[in-house]
Amino acid sequence: MFHLKDHCFLKLLDLSTEEIQGLLSLAAELKAQKKNGVSHRLFEGKNIVLIFEKTSTRTRCAFEVAAHDLGMGVTYLDPSGSQIGKKESIADTARVLGRMFDGIEYRGYGQEIVETLAKYAGVPVWNGLTNEFHPTQILADFLTIQEHFGSLKGKKLVYLGDARYNMGNSLMVGCAKMGMRFTACAPEKYQPSPQLQKQCLAIAQETGAELQFLTDPREAARDADVLYTDVWVSMGEPDSIWAERIQDLSPYRITRSLMELAGSQCRFMHCLPAFHDLNTTIGKQIHEKFGLDCMEVTDDVFECSRSIVFDEAENRMHTIKAVMAATL
């Protein structure tokens, strides 16, 4: 079995192209086993802990189901239910949890927190989303692209929206590593940092990837295999920025006309949760205040047959299982 024994999984920048491909292949293998009813309780007797300083549906459930499938016990620490950060430092928390658990998942704020956990824990630490990176999401996205298109190399993925946050950053790194064509399409101030762009351009030179940074959605969308977006305001950001984000990012909404411009091969992707209708509390509030029926994607695109968002969501579980199986 492909392995990265005792490694942490903190950001895709730390992995080689072959290691990312190895994780994707392992995920595909574990997915096939699960579909065929082949049990893989490879880690009976092991225990993991999930630290969530921000909320989650997919990531938490993916870690829990994957851990159960692998035969492991799981402890969940919710955003308010532990001493972390308030009464106990990250380094101390890491040393305590590392004595009890075989692996630690962390979702929260700065990337430096998950890096500190990894430094002190003495067991594998997995990044379940920080402000800067969301690497397990990218594995799920890439497994999904492989399933729909057969391969990753040369595929054109266009990310529209806030491209300087966890999703834009991680997709750019992932596409660079896997030799894909990546376009960040956003106003200048929402583009990935010059430092990360530079790092990714250097990776692209090695892998044959192409990276583009554009402000015009119609120019960006042409020939795209994937149009990808995410929420305009991320977890942990203040509600007061909605007005500015709506103003800045509305031109970057994924619409039917943008999908048509891309071509019939194009698929719609989104890490979820998505604001595509008025069936959420925030969606309703934004509608009342700003009159919008949807935000980053129109409902007709979200619901159309070229939307593969629920395949992505399912693949969170298979890919997270692969990350744990490889590193434990």
Q: Return residues touching ligand CP (CB under 6 A).
A: 56-59, 129, 137, 271-272
Whole-number Å distance between alpha carbons of 112 and 15 = 18
**Least distance CB 33 / ligand NVA (angstroms):** 27
Confirm or reject binding of residue 231 to ligand NVA (CB under 6 A).
yes
State the Cα–Cα distance between residues 217 and 261, nearest whole angstrom. Answer: 10
Q: Has 205 been annotated as catalytic?
A: no
To the nearest whole angstrom, how small is the minimum distance from the Cβ of residue 13 to ligand NVA? 18
Q: Which is nearer to ligand NVA, 21 or 111 (CB)?
A: 111
- Asked if residue 172 binds ligand NVA (CB under 6 A), the reply is no
User: Any contact of residue 230 with ligand NVA (CB under 6 A)?
Assistant: yes
Q: Is 69 exposed, middle or buried (0-12, 13-18, 19+ CB in 10 A)?
A: buried
Q: Is 53 in the site for ligand NVA (CB under 6 A)?
A: no
CB 273 within 8 A of CB 231: yes
* C-alpha–C-alpha distance, residues 94 and 91, integer Å: 5
Shortest CB 21 distance to ligand NVA, Å: 24
> CA-to-CA distance for 175 and 179, rounded, in angstroms?
6
Amino acid letter at 276? H
* Least distance to ligand CP, CB of residue 263, Å: 26
Residue 189 burial by Cβ neighbours in a 10 Å radius (0-12, 13-18, 19+): exposed
Q: How far is the CB of 134 from ligand NVA (least distance, A)?
A: 6
107 catalytic per annotation = yes
Question: Which of 8, 175, 266, 271 is flagged as catalytic?
Answer: 271
By CB under 6 A, is residue 271 in contact with ligand NVA? yes
Give the nearest distance from C-beta 173 to ligand CP in angstroms.
17
Q: Indicate which residue of 58, 60, 107, 245 is catalytic.
A: 107
267 carries an active-site annotation = no
**Interacting span for ligand NVA (CB under 6 A) from 24-32, 201-209, 226-234, 306-314:** 226-234
Query: Could you tell which of ligand NVA, ligand CP, none binds residue 57, using a CB distance below 5 to 8 A set by kind?
Result: ligand CP
Asked if 297 and 259 touch (Cβ cutoff 8 Å), the reply is: no
Per rule CB under 6 A, count of chain residues that contact ligand NVA? 10
Within a 13 Å sphere around the CA of 310, how many CA atoms are in the beta-carbon half? Answer: 5
Question: Considering the rule CB under 6 A, would residue 235 count as an interface residue with ligand NVA?
Answer: yes
- Which of the following is catalytic: 60, 137, 141, 175? 137
Nearer to ligand NVA by C-beta: 134 or 177?
Answer: 134
Please tell me whether residue 280 binds ligand NVA under the rule CB under 6 A: no
Whether the CB-CB separation of 113 and 129 falls below 8 Å is answered with no
Q: Write out the catalytic residue numbers.
A: 107, 134, 137, 230, 271, 316
Contacts with ligand NVA, residue ranges (CB under 6 A): 129, 134, 165-167, 230-231, 234-235, 271
